Amino acid sequence: MVGLRSLSSEMDLDRPNIEEYLTPDSIQDSPKKLHLHDLLDISPTLAEAAGAIVDDSFTRCFKSNPPEPWNWNIYLFPLWCLGVVVRYCFLFPLRVAILMAGWLVFFAAFFPVHFLLRGHDKWRHKIERKLVEMMCSVFVASWTGVVRYHGPRPSMRPQQVFVANHTSMIDFIILEQISAFAVIMQKHPGWVGFIQKTILGSVGSIWFNRTESKDRETVTRKLREHVHGVDNNPLLMFPEGTCVNNDYTVMFKKGAFELGCAVCPVAIKYNKIFVDAFWNSKKQSFTMHLVRLMTSWAVVCDVWYLEPQYLRPGETAIEFAERVRDMISARAGLKKVPWDGYLKYFRPSPKHTERKQQIFAESVLRRLDEK
C-alpha dist (Å) from residue 352 to 43, 57, 117, 250, 342: 20, 21, 57, 23, 18
Q: Which residue has the higher pLDDT, 352 or 160?
A: 160
Contacts of 187 (CB under 8 A, 6+ apart): 193, 196, 207, 208, 209
Among the ranges given (3-12, 206-215, 339-348), the one the predictor scored with the smallest mean pLDDT: 3-12
Collapse the DSSP code of 131 into the 3-class scheme (helix H, G, I; strand E, B; otherwise coil) and give the result: helix
In the prediction, which pLDDT does 288 show? 93
Residue 232 neighbours by CB distance under 10 Å: 17
pLDDT tops 70 at residue 163: yes
**Can you tell me the mean pLDDT for 296-310?**
95
In the prediction, which pLDDT does 131 show? 92
Residue 360 neighbours by CB distance under 10 Å: 17
> pTM higher than 0.85, yes or no?
no
pLDDT range class, residue 71, cuts 50, 70, 90: confident
**Can you tell me the mean pLDDT for 100-106?**
95
pLDDT tops 90 at residue 97: yes
C-alpha dist (Å) from residue 238 to 164, 184, 341: 5, 8, 12
pLDDT tens, residue by residue, 345-359: 665 566 656 676 677
- Closest of 319, 210, 308 to residue 254, by C-alpha: 319
Please, what is the end-to-end C-alpha distance for the chain in angstroms? 36
Strands 182-186 and 145-150: unpaired
pLDDT tops 60 at residue 54: no
In the prediction, which pLDDT does 299 show? 95
pLDDT tops 50 at residue 15: no
The secondary structure element, H or E, covering residue 329 is helix 317-332
In the prediction, which pLDDT does 124 show? 85
